[in-house]
Chains A and B, each alone.
Chain A
Amino acid sequence: MELQLPDFFLADLPDGVELSVSMIDQACDRLKENADQYLKNRTTSQLVHSLCQLADNWLDPEFPFRQKLIEEGPAQSGFSLDVLMDGMDRMFQQWKPDHFEFWLVQEFGHAERIDYLASNRLEARENKSSRARGPRLITHICSGNLPVPCIMSMVCGLMVRSAQFIKCASGASYIPRLFAHSLYQHDPKMAACIELAEWKGGLEPIENILFEKSDVVTATGSDKSIEAIQSRVPRQKKFLNYGQRLSFGFISKKALSGLGLRRLIEDAARDVMIWDQQGCLSPHVYYVQHKGVVPAEKFAELLAEELERYRLSFPRSPLSVEESAAIRSRRHFYHVRAATSKDTLPFFSNDGTDWSVVYEDEIRFQISCGNRFIYVKGVHSLDEALHGAEPIQHKVSTVALGAADDEAEEFALQIAQWGAPRICPIGKMQHPPLHWRHDGKPALAELVQWTDWEL
């Protein structure tokens, strides 16, 4: 039976219905009342339990919302079915009570900090307890490249018991909306504290009332969009922003020499495949150390072979003409360079732009055009790789590390000192844990205000 979504959110309104200032105004008031009534008195464990149940539902092949996503998601999101479901499943698999507990303790020092004046062991020794309060209303301005961050924004707001207005990017509300409806069916009171709407950013009258009514505004997107939003959020409101970021990997010669080589190549290809390299955690470059048993050039070739396997098992999403043209132009550039320089080796899929690997014996970081276009660059050391990445140092999100056990800690320390907010194994780049500090910032702790009780 076909699943019909009721008109529950503003995003459900038919095309052509224009949002008005009073609609937004009223929605904000209603959200606040609902959160006061339905959310404030729920315990953390009740909320976590409900969300984990919902995630289990989503992972169940029979779940009607999952089936609807399978049916309509590719056309609505532009991602191929395999890429989309792989990315969504990876997110829901993270939603386990112990992961939530770890996350809450990491953020607040105690899992029930939102529930009551709580003390951890050290605080009890100091006769102190504290409680954290979420803002009454959060507005999340979400970017359109991936659906996961938008859904995770909703989870963050629920964890701190805030009413939330989710403003989806133009053309990107389908998956967040489907998730919100699944929440509505599963836990209507929780869903009643969330509003969801879609419009092309910059509708000032609507956005101004939204900012006015909110206590906290979060924004994810391009630096240009964030700057534009920030200039309009009133000063007394808290503004949290997550601008443009990019990621890369470093693979040491020892990692290339061990028995795990096959696995390493698979993992490196997977990081390129997940979400078709559209996320800020996707790699643009793999720096590969020279003088391993497998030379860096050979690594590029093996990576290309692995991406070819993924082409068949996890086809890339169809591209717009502009996206294909960007890849084609870039491939041309490297074809010409390879014709005149031995330092460049291009490996490209046949009959299409499904994947592209460019090996370069040149350390300077290169920004990819995405859609499975990856650079492999030979380096002599991690120092050299970090030196090559200096131009984008302030924009780095994740550095994936492929290293032998006896050297990993030293490398990780060096990368941490360099300033990367996140270090993870190769293969886990687009699979951050629930407790991941987004761009190095605590996702929940940034939202709350504290009350300390000193005894």
Chain B
Amino acid sequence: MNENLNEFGAQLTKDMHSWASGQLRDEEFPFDTRALDLFRLQYQAVTPYQQWCNQSGISPQSITSWNQIPVIPASSFKQLDWTSIPEAQRVNFFASSGTTGEHRSHHHHGKESLIIYETSLLASFERLFLSMTNSQSIAFRFGFLVPPSIDVPHSSLAHMMETIRRKWDSQNPPTYLSHCNSSNLWVLNEQKIRAFFHKISENPSIPVCLMGTAFSFIHLLDWGGTERLSLELPPGSVILETGGYKGQSREVTRVELHQMIASTFKIGLDKIVTEYGMSELSSQAYRRPGSPPNPFCTPPWMRIRIINPEDGREALTGQTGMIQIFDLANVYSVMALETQDLGSSWTNGFELYGRASTSEPKGCSLFESGLSSGFIH
């Protein structure tokens, strides 16, 4: 069974390489055909998915377009192993970030699926991230505001950074600027940050690519302020900011955060890119810098659909709804996911408003609506 998936994956990685090098244009990628092919394969290979589709009365024979493919809730990776990879062939799983005691999702990976994950990531990084920051080359001094992936093997974000490091920064000693503390929280590695910025001041001609979660940037900015440390970056430096910060640091709006980053690092707002990804996916979306904010863009093997949560129908352009993601790089699991994030679609991408949650108590009545906020699994 997995031979067919391997074959699909091989063709997809070939396309990814072609797209990254500019040989394949977005519109040339046959998304619909590929999506229906992959659906047929996943329906056969992922047993719970087949049951799920049967419950909805949908089979590969009954649909004609990618947007009819049944989606599974991304949160259900906490409940079920949505994978075609036999246990013996699994080499890792990526887990959602979560608080202690909370169920975390498991997105299983084997050797082949990791190759696709990494190819997808590098292609998008090269093609989307670099063009969005008008960077001429990838000759950056990299800094990663995450712990080394060896310490957090189930973090897809740390794996993403490690993949980028191995590809474009393997000659230098790794510059992971965070580590896990005794409570397993990601915190800044102050010693490494000092050394990193010292090196920058020694040779300010190399532009820096600093990557991290929104909360790690807030921590860094706060800490830099307290320590009166100059965090100025050389000209041409770029920032990749990803992930949320709820509960991990003080909360600021994304616009405020970008302004703080720009003024502290002394770089333009046009050098800050936001990335959107999750452990249940194998591709990422990137937001081009700009004001007013630009929508997120995806590589051509990843599409977004916005759903009106009330009736499950596709929302109109500009209307807020729940984000569904069809990521063909999820070859060995399930490609069609519904997230718990709210967003809206635009002609050239999508806007993200964050996690749908009415977990704030309403008056005297106690409600907990977000699946991650006290809802007992």
Query: Is B312 close to A, CB under 8 A?
Result: yes
A364 to B375, CA, bound (A): 11
Interface residue total, chain A, C-beta cutoff 8 A: 50
Q: Is B1 an interface residue (CB 8 A)?
A: no
- Any B CB within 8 A of the CB of A2: no
User: With A and B bound together, what is the CA distance between A322 and B310 in angstroms?
Assistant: 10
Q: Please measure, in the bound complex, the distance between the C-alpha atom of A222 and the C-alpha atom of B366, giving whole angstroms.
A: 8
Q: Is A280's CB under 8 angstroms from B310's CB?
A: no
Against A, the Cβ 8 Å flags (1 = close, 0 = not) of B62-105 are: 00000000001101100110000000000000000000000000
Instruction: Give residues 42-76 of B contacting A (CB, 8 Å).
Output: 48, 51-52, 55, 72-73, 75-76
Q: Check if A246 is an interface residue, CB within 8 A of chain B.
A: yes
Distance in angstroms from A388 CB to nearest chain B CB is: 11
* Interface range, B side: 35 or more
Q: Which of B340, B364, B367, B377 contacts A221 (CB 8 A)?
A: B364
Residue of B nearest to A247 (CB): B365
Residue B205 is within 8 A (CB to CB) of chain A in the complex: no
Q: Is the interface of B mostly helix, strand, loop or mixed?
A: loop
B199: shortest Cβ distance to chain A, in Å?
Answer: 45
Q: Does B150 contact A (CB under 8 A)?
A: no
The stretch from A24-32, A255-263, A323-331 touching chain B is A323-331
B321: interface (CB < 8 Å): yes
Kindly list chain B residues whose C-beta atoms are within 8 Å of the C-beta of A325. Answer: 309, 321-322, 340, 342, 356
Q: Are A369 and B309 in contact (CB under 8 A)?
A: no
Given contacts A325-B340, A326-B369, contact A143 B358 (CB under 8 A): no
Interface hit among A103-111, A266-274, A333-341 = A333-341
With an 8 A cutoff between CB atoms, is B338 at the interface? Answer: yes
Interface-forming stretch among A45-53, A121-129, A237-245?
A237-245
> Which listed residue, B52, B357, B366, B375, touches A244 by the CB 8 Å rule?
B366
Q: Does A54 contact B (CB under 8 A)?
A: no
| Most chain A Cβ neighbours within 10 Å, of B79, B321, B366 | B366
If the complex has contacts A224-B361, A325-B340, A336-B76, are A369 and B367 also in contact, measured as CB distance less than 8 A?
yes
Q: Which of B320, B322, B367 is A367 in contact with, Cβ under 8 Å?
A: B367
Asked if A279 and B73 make an inter-chain contact with CB atoms under 8 angstroms apart, the answer reads no
Closest Cβ–Cβ distance, residue B322 to chain A (whole Å): 5
Q: Please determine whether A242 and B369 come into contact, CB atoms closer than 8 angstroms.
A: no
Inter-subunit contact A329/B361 (CB<8 Å): no
Could you tell me if A146 and B363 are in contact, using CB atoms closer than 8 angstroms? yes
B363 engages A222 (CB within 8 Å):
yes
Interchain CB contact (< 8 A) of A326 among B72, B311, B358: B358
Question: Within 8 Å of chain A (Cβ to Cβ): is B370?
Answer: yes
- Kindly provide the distance from the CB of B356 to the nearest chain A CB, expressed in whole angstroms: 4
Q: Out of A149, A243, A280, A340, which one reaches B80, CB within 8 Å? A: A340
- Distance from B97 Cβ to chain A, minimum over Cβ atoms (Å): 18
The CB with the most chain A CB atoms within 10 A, among B51, B309, B362, B363, is that of B363
Contacts of A333 in B (CB 8 A): 73, 75-76, 79, 371, 375, 377
How long is the Cα–Cα vector from A364 to B377 in the complex, in angstroms?
Answer: 10
Chain B min CB distance to A271 (Å): 14
CB distance from A338 to the nearest CB of B (A): 9
- Note all chain A residues with C-beta closer than 8 A to B360: 222
Residues of chain A contacted by B340 (CB below 8 angstroms) = 325, 329
Q: Is the CB of B357 within 8 A of A222?
A: no
Contacts A/B (CB < 8 Å), 11 sampled: A222-B360, A245-B364, A246-B365, A279-B365, A321-B356, A322-B342, A325-B356, A326-B356, A333-B76, A352-B310, A367-B368
Shortest 4 CB-CB distances between A and B: which pairs?
Answer: A143-B363, A145-B363, A326-B369, A325-B356
B residues in contact (CB < 8 Å) with A? 48, 51-52, 55, 72-73, 75-76, 79-80, 308-312, 320-322, 338, 340, 342, 356-358, 360-371, 374-377
A interface list, Cβ under 8 A from B: 143-146, 149, 169, 220-224, 242-246, 278-280, 282, 319-330, 332-333, 335-337, 339-340, 351-353, 364, 366-370, 392, 395
Q: Given A145-B364, A351-B311, output 20 extra A-B contacts at Cβ < 8 Å.
A: A221-B361, A244-B364, A319-B310, A320-B358, A321-B310, A323-B369, A325-B340, A326-B357, A328-B310, A329-B73, A329-B371, A332-B75, A332-B76, A333-B75, A333-B375, A336-B52, A339-B52, A353-B309, A367-B366, A367-B376
